[in-house]
């Protein structure tokens, strides 16, 4: 049981708040005892130091848009609310660098740097942006979107990070920092670790100039044919900013959308060439499903939805594949539907990072996920990681699937959080 008075004393100089947890204060169904909301890096350090001294398990929370992704924590004694750290620390527009605190909404950061004709090319799902997804949350889940094809995900854009470890130590690595931790690239380690190594309090990112002109090319057809045409565009000299595939559940057809960015008439010329290669049409706006998770439409223009199939719970997963393996993944989705009576929608990059939505009873869903994993039988060839699922589905499968380097990951966890006080059990292998 958390000693609230001691936590309040720890945050007294920070001016932060401590309160007893309410019914809404849970992490993926695991209720918390207390909530602390510091307003500074020093406050986060003081709160974590005191929480660890009390033997508490602490989980960071920003906007809470992905608290039910990954695995539920073993326990949650303290939720550390990062929304009090919402400052834009520095925007070096001349250097194309921005430094922000972890609780700053990504949408707010994007609006600020947009005024300088710059952008952080993360492309979070619109539903997460609208819900206030934060810098820390985007890092912790390893966010990426359609334009990862050219410029990578957030892991490729983060230059440095400051993190508070379980014992209250403030550590930094990478660019735009003063004190570095020898031997660890903390920014890369923290990305996609679901908050299990420490609590991110600040991060520096590489920005890109906004490309003023863009065009979309959209086409449809049988799934295998669409995947082949999309692969041709990726491998072409057209330099697409993104090539996305949308395969609705229950459908034998898929859609492909290509984004061309640049300046002036060259964009139109490239778009026309892409349209000829795809057998599609050029349009100024993205399709309604662009950048959204499967099953979500962001506008009035959308692909054919088809039947969601299966009934029952909705499970979200992230699937990766090689460039040629995307065709196998699409085929596996259709085969899983026919075998197990579920619906499997796929949406994401033709280069091999997609999201899946599986709809069906728990046992059938677990079997379908296993079938998708069969399309990429090793981590080198691809992975299928369950992001969001019911307790029943999670009980029927390993949400992470085969993972390489697990012993090394556990060793890093022991080094940075030997008492397992930060988000225990949220990550692969019970880390």
Q: Quick check: helix, strand or coil at residue 289?
A: coil
Ranking 19-33, 119-133, 300-314, 371-385 by mean pLDDT, the lowest is: 300-314
Distances (CA, A) of 67 to 114, 128, 184: 28, 12, 26
Task: Give the per-residue pLDDT at 162.
Answer: 95
Angstrom distance (rounded) from CA 19 to CA 29? 19
| pLDDT value, residue 298 | 58
What confidence score (pLDDT) does residue 189 get? Answer: 92
Chain mean pLDDT for the chain:
93
Q: Indicate yes or no: pTM above 0.95.
A: no
Q: For the chain, which domains are there?
A: 4-83 (3.30.43.10), 86-209 (3.30.465.10), 213-283 (3.30.70.3450), 313-395 (3.30.70.100)
**pLDDT of amino acid 275:** 98
The pair of three-digit structure tokens given for residue 154, joined into one six-digit string: 């957030």
Q: 382 — phi, psi (to 5°)?
A: 150, 170
> How far from the centroid of its chain's Cα atoms is residue 13's Cα?
34
Task: Tell me the percentage of the chain whose pLDDT exceeds 70.
Answer: 94
Average pLDDT on 5-19 reads 96
* CA-based torsion, 394, 397, 400, 405: positive or negative: positive
Is pLDDT of 307 > 60? no
Q: Is the dihedral of CA 421, 426, 427, 431 positive or negative?
A: positive
- For 313, the enclosing helix (H) or strand (E) is strand 313-321
Is the Cβ–Cβ distance between 137 and 68 less than 8 Å? Answer: no
What local confidence, expressed as pLDDT, does residue 295 receive? 85
Question: For residues 376 and 331, is the Cβ–Cβ distance under 8 A?
Answer: no
Three-state secondary structure call for residue 235: helix
**pLDDT bracket for residue 379 (50, 70, 90):** confident
pLDDT of the residue at 308: 43
DSSP 60: E
Rounded to whole angstroms, the Cα distance separating 142 from 121 reads 13
pLDDT at 311 over 90: no
pLDDT tens per residue, range 133-190: 999 999 999 999 999 999 999 999 999 999 999 999 999 987 654 334 445 688 999 9
**CA–CA distance, 369 with 212 (Å, rounded to integer):** 40
How far apart (Å, rounded) are the C-alpha atoms in residues 298 and 229?
A: 25
Question: For 324-349, what is the mean pLDDT?
Answer: 97
CA distances from 27 to 164, 239, 318, 325, 399 (A): 20, 41, 20, 35, 17
Lowest mean pLDDT among 220-224, 380-384, 417-421: 380-384
CB 315 within 8 A of CB 369: yes
Least confident of 174-178, 344-348, 351-355, 420-424: 174-178
SS3 for 112? helix
Kindly report which listed range (31-40, 176-185, 240-249, 313-322) carries the lowest average pLDDT score: 176-185
What number of other Cβ atoms are within 10 A of residue 279's Cβ?
14
Report phi then psi at 348, rounded to 5: 155, -160
Q: In the prediction, which pLDDT does 301 show?
A: 33
Distance CA 14, CA 164 (A): 15
d(CA 301, CA 63): 29
pLDDT of residue 304: 35
% of the chain at pLDDT higher than 90? 89
Mean pLDDT within 67-94: 97
What is the bridge-based pairing of β-strands 170-174 and 158-164? antiparallel
């Amino acid at each position: 049981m958390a000693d609230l008075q001691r936590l309040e004393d720890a945050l007294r100089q920070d001016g932060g708040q401590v309160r007893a947890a309410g019914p809404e204060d849970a992490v993926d169904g695991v209720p918390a005892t207390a909530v602390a909301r510091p307003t500074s890096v020093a406050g986060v350090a003081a709160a974590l130091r005191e929480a660890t001294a009390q033997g508490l398990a602490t989980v960071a929370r920003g906007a809470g848009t992905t608290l039910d992704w990954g695995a539920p924590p073993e326990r949650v004694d303290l939720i550390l609310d990062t929304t009090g750290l919402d400052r834009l620390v520095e925007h070096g527009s001349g250097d194309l660098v921005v430094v922000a605190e972890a609780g700053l909404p990504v949408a707010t950061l994007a609006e600020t740097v947009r005024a300088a004709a710059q952008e952080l090319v993360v492309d979070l799902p619109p539903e997460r942006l609208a819900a206030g997804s934060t810098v820390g949350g985007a890092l912790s889940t390893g966010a990426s979107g359609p334009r990862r094809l050219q410029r990578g995900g957030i892991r490729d854009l983060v230059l440095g990070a400051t993190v508070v470890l379980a014992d209250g130590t403030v550590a930094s690595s990478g660019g735009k920092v003063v004190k570095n931790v020898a031997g660890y690239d903390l920014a890369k380690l923290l990305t996609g670790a679901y908050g299990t190594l420490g609590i991110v309090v600040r991060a520096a990112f590489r920005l890109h100039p906004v490309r003023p002109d863009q065009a979309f090319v959209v086409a449809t057809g049988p799934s295998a044919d669409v995947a082949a045409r999309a692969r041709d565009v990726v491998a072409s000299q057209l330099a697409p900013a993104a090539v996305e595939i949308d395969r609705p559940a229950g459908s034998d057809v898929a859609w492909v959308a290509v984004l061309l960015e640049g300046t002036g008439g060259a964009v139109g010329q490239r778009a026309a060439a892409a349209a000829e290669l795809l057998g599609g049409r050029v349009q100024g706006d993205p399709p309604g499903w662009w950048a959204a998770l499967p099953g979500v439409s962001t506008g009035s223009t959308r692909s054919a939805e088809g039947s969601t199939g299966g009934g029952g719970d909705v499970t979200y997963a992230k699937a990766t594949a090689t460039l040629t393996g995307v065709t196998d993944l699409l085929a596996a989705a259709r085969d899983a539907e026919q075998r197990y009576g579920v619906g499997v929608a796929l949406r994401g990059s033709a280069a091999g990072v997609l999201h899946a939505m599986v709809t069906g009873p728990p046992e059938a869903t677990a079997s379908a996920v296993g079938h998708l994993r069969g399309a990429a039988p090793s981590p080198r060839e691809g992975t299928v990681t369950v992001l969001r699922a019911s307790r029943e589905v999670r009980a029927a499968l390993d949400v992470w699937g085969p993972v390489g380097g697990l012993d090394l990951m556990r060793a890093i966890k022991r080094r940075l959080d030997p008492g397992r006080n930060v988000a225990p059990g949220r990550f692969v292998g019970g880390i």
